[in-house]
Amino acid sequence: MPVPMLELAPQNAAVKARVLEGLSGLIDRSSFILGDNVKGLEAEISAYAGAAHAVGMSSGTDAQLAALMALGIGAGDEVIVPSFTFFATAGVVSRVGAKPVFIDLDPATFNASGALVEAAITPRTKAIMPVHLFGQLADMPGIMAVAAKHGLPVIEDACQSLGAKGWGKSAGQFGDMTAYSFYPTKNLGAFGDAGMTAIRDDAALAARVRRIRVHGMEPVYMHHEVGMNGRMDEFQALVLRAKLPMLDSWHEGRRTHAAWYLERLQDLTPDEAVLPQEVVPEGRHIYNQFTIRVPGGRRDGLQAHLRERGIGCAIYYPICLHEQPCFAPLGYQTGQLPESERAAKEVLSLPVYPEMTPAMREEVAVAILGFFGRS
Ligand SMILES: Cc1ncc(COP(=O)(O)O)c(C=O)c1O
């Protein structure tokens, strides 16, 4: 039985009737951008994530870009970011003319720690952007303590982690601002691109993000600063509002599959495969990805073995950002961030979407165990 890495159709079928009905009303009203659905979604996400303000954006990338712009970060500034993440986290820093300063990761979580952030601070540091990679929170108490000590703002990259929890809080309740992505493969996915910037408690900062979203304009045709077009579509907002009530049950579906994999694959030794660890106290890993490590140069062999058997799997991410050609002028060398470089060689993400059946995950587990000569 083939097992795709991800299948969106069954989940989207669950909201199809509601979305079609909403779309019909939208066409009748013909108000397509920044309308009642965007306003409603902003209120619902701000309540769900526990942040005081939320601003609907055109993508997660634009949500991060607007956050940096609202903090006034630009040429000559440095922003601390992980090297092992999706490109956008660092791309937006360069986009505002600032310099991404790459840090290594904690191998237990793939995420940044307070100590790693602290070691990268210089007099030019203007912000810290931790990423909650794969659905688990970074060491936010440690990072926030370092930020407070140095008086630096924190932008959480929760593009993969809306609803992730730890230390009694949710992604979005730690940093000054937080970016979420609703790219279709996220746990809460739109029918196209969409994102959100949440602002923890600062109403003036929220107002600035709102203004930046519409070319720095307020009121109409009065431009106080050069912003961007970061507007969210009404259609995406209505899709996301139809899905949001189901999000917690989808998180639980992923967590059930993850717990099952952890038990079924528990006999694998650390030199065969290392399973993801949920280490955050009072945590809820939402498993946007279930990512194992395969050390000893066998990762690509396992990937080929799974693919031959029709099992989807993927490498997030095969190249660290400090080794990307576009960042060569920053002067990083291979070997400088060893844990990130090791992760890029070892990681393999397995199917973990909520609609997967028990028979499908058994197929994945049997194929992995077979590769290592086990049953
Ligand atoms: C960690 C991370 N940061 C940023 C983004 C950018 O989000 P988007 O694709 O919505 O622009 C993504 C998603 O793709 C992501 O996974």
Compute the Cα dihedral for 197, 60, 227, 329 and give only its sign: positive
Per-residue confidence (pLDDT) for residue 375, from 0 to 100: 81
Per-residue confidence (pLDDT) for residue 80, from 0 to 100: 98
Per-residue confidence (pLDDT) for residue 247, from 0 to 100: 98
Judgement on whether residues 115 and 194 belong to the same structural domain of the protein = yes
Per-residue confidence (pLDDT) for residue 135, from 0 to 100: 98
- Report the percent of the chain where pLDDT is more than 70: 100
Q: pLDDT digit string (tens) for 204-213?
A: 999 999 999 9
**Domain assignment of residue 83, given as a range:** 9-245
Per-residue confidence (pLDDT) for residue 2, from 0 to 100: 93
Judgement on whether residues 253 and 225 belong to the same structural domain of the protein = no
Whether residue 2 is contained in a domain is answered as no
Alpha carbon of 232 to ligand 1 centroid (Å): 16
Last residue of a domain, one of 187, 221, 245: 245
Q: pLDDT digit string (tens) for 257-291?
A: 999 999 999 999 999 999 999 999 999 999 999 99
CB-based burial, 44-66: b 16+ in 10 Å, e otherwise: bbbebbebebbbbbbbbbbbbbb
Judgement on whether residues 241 and 318 belong to the same structural domain of the protein = no
Whether residue 301 is contained in a domain is answered as yes
In the predicted structure, residue 152 carries a pLDDT above the cut 90? yes
Whether residue 100 is contained in a domain is answered as yes
Judgement on whether residues 192 and 313 belong to the same structural domain of the protein = no
Residues lining ligand 1, Cβ inside 6 A: 59-61, 85-86, 88-89, 131, 157, 159-160, 181, 183, 193, 195
Helices (H), the chain: 9-29, 36-49, 60-70, 88-95, 114-119, 140-150, 203-213, 234-243, 247-264, 299-308, 338-346, 358-371
Residue ID of nearest Cα to ligand 1 atom 7? 60
Per-residue confidence (pLDDT) for residue 1, from 0 to 100: 86
Whether residue 364 is contained in a domain is answered as yes
Mean pLDDT for the stretch of residues 165-177: 98
Alpha carbon of 161 to ligand 1 centroid (Å): 10
Mean pLDDT for the stretch of residues 173-177: 98
Mean pLDDT for the stretch of residues 73-81: 98
Judgement on whether residues 105 and 208 belong to the same structural domain of the protein = yes
In the predicted structure, residue 57 carries a pLDDT above the cut 90? yes
Judgement on whether residues 87 and 97 belong to the same structural domain of the protein = yes
Q: pLDDT digit string (tens) for 102-151?
A: 999 999 999 999 999 999 999 999 999 999 999 999 999 999 999 999 99
Helix (H, G, I), strand (E, B) or coil at 327: helix
- Report the percent of the chain where pLDDT is more than 90: 99
Last residue of a domain, one of 245, 276, 297: 245
Judgement on whether residues 271 and 157 belong to the same structural domain of the protein = no
Q: Answer yes or no: are the C-beta atoms of 265 and 275 closer than 8 Å.
A: yes
Structural Rg of the chain based on CA atoms:
21
Alpha carbon of 370 to ligand 1 centroid (Å): 34
Alpha carbon of 92 to ligand 1 centroid (Å): 11
For a pocket test of ligand 1, which of 134, 155, 160, 287 has the largest count of ligand atoms closer than 8 A to its C-beta? Answer: 160
Residue ID of nearest Cα to ligand 1 atom 12? 159
Whether residue 76 is contained in a domain is answered as yes
Whether residue 1 is contained in a domain is answered as no
Alpha carbon of 67 to ligand 1 centroid (Å): 14
Number of domains in the chain: 2
At 282, which CATH number? 3.90.1150.10
Whether residue 108 is contained in a domain is answered as yes
Q: Which of 259, 363, 358, 253 is nearest to 14 (CA)?
A: 253
Per-residue confidence (pLDDT) for residue 163, from 0 to 100: 98
Whether residue 59 is contained in a domain is answered as yes
In the predicted structure, residue 232 carries a pLDDT above the cut 90? yes
If DSSP states are collapsed to H, E and C, what string results for 171-183? CCCCCCEEEEECC
Q: Which atom of ligand 1 is nearest to the CA of 132?
A: 1
Judgement on whether residues 195 and 68 belong to the same structural domain of the protein = yes
